[in-house]
Amino acid sequence: APKCLHFCDDASVLGAPFFIMEYRPGLVIGGEMPAAVAAREAPGAQLGGVLVGLLDDLHRVDPDAVGLGDLGRPEGFLERTAAGWIKRARLAWDGEPPPVVDEIADWLGADRSLPEQATSFLHNDFKLDNVVLSGHGMNWTDQLMVGFGKTNVDAVLAVMHGRAPRSVVNRE
């Protein structure tokens, strides 16, 4: 991932704390598919395969082996995540959400007896426009969102972001 070069917590500069990230050349796809990519055979399958591989690589990192075994709170991760989603949904409708929000909250709160799953690093915002594609491999951005949790959450969030991309930035 690109390195953070400078962090500024003085909100008077830009209106919020910010950081300057190391430049990485490549292509960020966040809108229409660039012609050079679209012309490839099965570009969606190619990009999807690369993205799944990159996410799998992240999930395979052993936190203890890289000195980050005490990062985050993996216990209760799914419950906290679901509660956060529901809270944001209710706030989005000024506290009067449509009935489906309560139905989803009830469904998420039900005992699902999910099989145990190892805790791993999560990206928490993994999607095509958070990846810099280049001939030298791929980098992901938004690394400040990384935490510990269940890998199925990253997979669900990645699928949720499968809507039409917004813009394309060529950084060659």
Nearest to 1 by CA among 18, 20, 25, 24: 24
Read off the DSSP letter of residue 151.
H
In sequence order, the 6+-apart residues with CB closer than 8 A to the CB of 112 are none
Q: In which band, very low, low, confident or very high, does the pLDDT at 167 lie, cut at 50, 70 and 90?
A: very low
Residue 133: other Cβ atoms inside 10 A: 19
Q: In which band, very low, low, confident or very high, does the pLDDT at 4 lie, cut at 50, 70 and 90?
A: confident
- 43-63: average pLDDT: 85
In sequence order, the 6+-apart residues with CB closer than 8 A to the CB of 123 are 55, 58, 130, 140, 142, 143, 145, 146, 154
Taken as a whole, the chain contains a residue count of 172
2-16, 74-88, 152-166, range with greatest mean pLDDT: 2-16
CA distances from 3 to 7, 127, 135 (A): 11, 19, 19
Q: What percent of the chain has pLDDT over 70?
A: 78
Q: In which band, very low, low, confident or very high, does the pLDDT at 169 lie, cut at 50, 70 and 90?
A: very low
The mean pLDDT of the chain is 77
| pLDDT number for residue 30 | 81
Structure tokens at 84: 């956060």
